[in-house]
Structure 1
Amino acid sequence: MESDIIYQGSQFFVGVGTLALINCVLAQSKNRSGLLWFFISLFIGPLATLIIAVLDKLPEHGG
């Protein structure tokens, strides 16, 4: 019983981490800070995905 709870908890953290990585890549594809959105995603999860999806792509930095 206790091992089931630990297993479910670890699955939750793997899912949250995976979503955060996906949001990181999605943010970078829109020229936004992937690291910032990774940490935001850890707190607000799927809501961050929705926010990133509706944001416009920023212009590329000339360099």
Structure 2
Amino acid sequence: MDHLSTFAGGAPWFVGWGTLALINAALAQGKNRSGLLWFLLSLLCGPFATLLLVLLPKVRSKMF
């Protein structure tokens, strides 16, 4: 039974981390960057990926 209380206590962190990854993916797409790449990076790095993404400039789109 003890392992269930540990999982339940960690559930808010799991949901928050996943939500942050989704937000970062949307933010990345707004800066013309890969949403999938930043989603995966955010799952690993969390708030540090957010900070890096906010500080990076927007990528210029190529004109044909």
TM-score bracket, shorter-length normalisation: 0.7 to 0.9
Give the Cα separation in 2 of the matches to 1:35 and 1:46: 16
Question: What is the root-mean-square deviation of aligned Cα atoms in Å?
Answer: 1.5
1:23 corresponding residue in structure 2: 24
1:59 corresponding residue in structure 2: 60
Q: Name the amino acid aligned to 1:21.
A: L
TM normalised by structure 1 equals 0.87
Give the Cα separation in 2 of the matches to 1:9 and 1:62: 47
Deviation at 1:5, TM superposition (A): 2.1
TM normalised by structure 2 equals 0.86
Matches within 5 A, 1:1-63: 2=2, 3-62=4-63
Alignment length, in residue pairs?
63
Deviation at 1:8, TM superposition (A): 1.7
Deviation at 1:7, TM superposition (A): 1.5
Give the Cα separation in 2 of the matches to 1:25 and 1:61: 20
